[in-house]
Amino acid sequence: MGKWFGQASEIEELRAENRQLKEQVANLEARLRAAYADAGVTALARSASPAFEAAAPTPVPATPSPASVSLPELNAVEIQMIAEGRMIYAVKNYKDRTGVDLKTAKAAIDAARRASANR
């Protein structure tokens, strides 16, 4: 019975290390998506490994500020969602596609909504 408890603690240590590694991978993937989006490479801005989407990415320090988000970063789907008034879905789609934080994604969608209203 003592050996089983020793193995259980080792298993928990491995699980904790696995969670930490998944968080690091998710963080790197989010930073890579943001870099692709900043470079205008939209085809590569989406994550290639959906297995790590469930891991909560840690905040990315290189995230652009909401004021620096430009309208050309929006794709056709997001523009259509804005036109239909589906703001929450547009924010979610933009956030998932670019890897930016929620505040930045909302600022981008709000800016696009205001710009389309002024046209």
Q: Which pLDDT tens digit goes with each residue over 59-110?
A: 443 444 444 445 557 888 888 999 899 999 999 999 888 888 899 999 999 9
Residue corresponding to tokens 């523009």: 79
pLDDT of amino acid 4: 63
How many C-beta neighbours within 10 Å does residue 81 have? 22
DSSP SS3 for 25: helix
Q: How close are the terminal C-alpha atoms of the chain, in Å?
A: 73
CA 88, CA 9: separation in Å to the nearest integer?
Answer: 43
Amino acid at 59: P
- pLDDT tens digits, 17-60: 988 888 888 888 888 887 777 777 766 555 445 444 444 444 44
Q: Is 22 exposed, middle or buried (0-12, 13-18, 19+ CB in 10 A)?
A: middle
